[in-house]
Chain A
Amino acid sequence: MLNRRQVIIAAASASILPQAAAALSVSESQSIVAALVTEVNAVIASGKSEAAMISDFAVLFDRYSDVPTIARYCLGADARSASPAQMQAYTAAFRGYIASKYGRRFREFVGGEIIVEGAAPVKSWIEVETTVQLRGRSPLRMDFHVSDRSGSHKFFNFIIEGVNMLLTERAEIGALLDRQGRNLDALTAEIGAV
């Protein structure tokens, strides 16, 4: 149990923190994407096995993105009626699912490199533009959307050549859920097994 003083401190910090965190910064957004890209490039260049690269990407995904928000949005309206325990299990399974799926995509960039081009505010977030330089192929444009609404600067979406990860995964999770008769626990078990 919290004592009275702790409650006051918690309430006070709760009223201060959102303001401190509200300073969504273009340069901060660009630097977290730059840091992410440096680490992704290092994984791509490491020449590790696919499984090892995927587990490296899972760590980076955790560190640099707002996983609970991404997971909830992709689940859609079904998240409204889910219990906290169900959401926790689903979010953990989703983390592995997305790291494995996009880890394999990023692994195809072997021999290539991601370069940060710049950042600008778009709607309520910061868009950080990057270019994926590939060996013997035309470069790809990849934008990261960064927000500080989770409490710190994290990316919550990326768009590769116009293809929006959140919208695409929301459709895919929706289809998986349909296949499982809209049973969230069954969905969690299925994506957790990937």
Chain B
Amino acid sequence: MKIAFALCLTLASVAACSTAPDGATVHDPYETRNRSVHEFNKRLTGGLGSDEDRSGPRIPQDISARLIDFADNVAMPGVILNNTLQGDFVGATSNTMRFLINTVFGAFGVFDPADIMGLEEIDADFGQTLSVWGAPEGAYLELPLLGPSTERDFAGDIVDVLIDPLGLFVTDDQLVVASVGSIAGRIAKIDQVGDTIGDVLNESADSYAQARLIYLQNRRYELGIEAAEVADPYADLYGDQ
């Protein structure tokens, strides 16, 4: 049932993705709405990075590394499913090994012995799967709490929650523990990069445009899409040609 719903949602959302005009590097038809969400997100994260005396994250490194490792391991069945959907069987196999090793020998993923063995995570999510399948990026979105995204990535996020196979392996009680751990891991990750995000938001003349540009460039890089725009300041001295 959930799978069928996810499938319908995928088809509907991909069909609804608004297509960017040719050559446009930023497609943002919802800019007005996105900007008001951005102001909301900015107020919410107002504390981040504004602490003058603060150097480095608030959560101790040792604890935050364990939280992040646990959250990553809990997310692994979903990642493996996406590796498979993308036809990346090498990634799926390697991540399955990772998941088994960290679950058995790493105290359910609190530790990451697989990484020490050189088995790095091969990241995948449903937004990426949609990209591999040829779905267009769609319009840029800034989501409440979640921050920068695109129509394709937002559809991917929802589908990832619906098709997460973790529930097949664990009891309901364990699923609660996994979910709490996952949220804690996410907070720890934000804490690690909080200064950077805070600096960009607080110090930029147009933090909305900066966040949008940084997100789109980084996401396209992750997806292996060649940069639409390169900078050659010797051929194009003023960047206006």
CB pair A123–B199 under 8 Å, yes or no, is: no
Q: Are A170 and B239 in contact (CB under 8 A)?
A: yes
Give the contacting residue for B210; candidates A70, A74, A168, A179; CB below 8 A: A168
Stretch at the interface among B29-37, B74-82, B87-95, B230-238: B230-238
- A70-B233, A72-B233, A80-B238 given; A162·B213 CB < 8 A: no
Residue of A nearest to B192 (CB): A137
Contacts of A135 in B (CB 8 A): 61
As a 0/1 sequence over residues 7 to 30 of chain B, the CB contacts with chain A under 8 angstroms (1 = contact) are: 000000000000000000000000
Q: Which residues of B contact A104 (CB under 8 A)?
A: 199
Q: Which of B125-133, B146-154, B172-180, B215-223 contacts A (4 or more CB under 8 A)?
A: B215-223
In the bound assembly, the distance between CA atoms of A178 and B196 in angstroms comes to 24
Interface membership of B51, Cβ < 8 A: no
For the complex formed, measure the closest distance between the CB of B137 and the CB atoms of chain A, giving whole angstroms. 14
Band of interface residues on A: 35 or more
Question: A171, B213: Cβ atoms under 8 Å?
Answer: yes
Q: Mark A95-124, 1 if CB is under 8 A from B, else 0.
A: 000000100110010100000000000011
- Evaluate whether A76 and B209 lie within 8 angstroms (CB atoms) in the complex, with A123-B232, A147-B234 already known: no
Q: How far is the CA of A74 from the CA of B237 in the complex (A)?
A: 10
Digit string of A54-85 for contact with B (CB within 8 Å is 1, else 0)? 00000000000000011011111101100000
Q: Are A162 and B220 in contact (CB under 8 A)?
A: yes
A167 and B238 contact, Cβ closer than 8 Å, known pairs A162-B218, A172-B204 = no
Using A172-B210, A175-B206 as known contacts, say yes or no to A72 and B238 having CB atoms under 8 A apart: yes
Tell me if B164 counts as interface (CB < 8 A to partner A): no
Q: Shortest beta-carbon distance, B132 to chain A, in Å? A: 17
Q: Is the CB of B205 within 8 A of A176?
A: yes
Determine whether B227 belongs to the interface, using a CB cutoff of 8 Å to chain A: yes
Q: Among A69, A70, A73, A104, find the residue whose CB has the most chain B CB atoms closer than 10 A.
A: A73
Is A136's CB within 8 Å of the partner chain B?
yes
A168–B234 touching, CB < 8 Å: no
Mark each residue of chain B from 180 to 208: 1 if its CB lies under 8 Å from any CB of chain A, else 0: 00000000000010011001000111100
* A108-B218 in contact (CB<8A): no
B65 at the A interface (CB under 8 A): yes
Check if A108 sits within 8 Å of B195, measured CB to CB. Answer: yes
Q: Once bound together, how far apart are the Cα atoms of A179 and B206, in whole Å?
A: 9
Q: Which residues of B contact A39 (CB under 8 A)?
A: none
Q: Mark B56-67, 1 if CB is under 8 A from A, else 0.
A: 100001001100
Do the beta carbons of B234 and A69 come within 8 Å of each other?
Answer: yes
A interface residues (Cβ-Cβ under 8 A, vs B): 50, 69-70, 72-77, 79-80, 101, 104-105, 108, 110, 123-125, 135-137, 147, 149, 156-157, 161-164, 166-168, 170-172, 175-176, 178-179
Known contacts A50-B55, A69-B234, then 12 further A-B pairs from the complex at CB < 8 Å, ordered by chain A residue: A74-B239, A108-B195, A135-B61, A136-B68, A161-B218, A162-B218, A162-B219, A163-B217, A166-B239, A170-B231, A175-B210, A178-B205
Between A and B, 14 residue pairs with Cβ closer than 8 Å are A76-B240, A77-B240, A108-B196, A110-B56, A123-B232, A124-B232, A157-B233, A162-B219, A162-B221, A164-B217, A168-B213, A171-B206, A172-B206, A175-B204
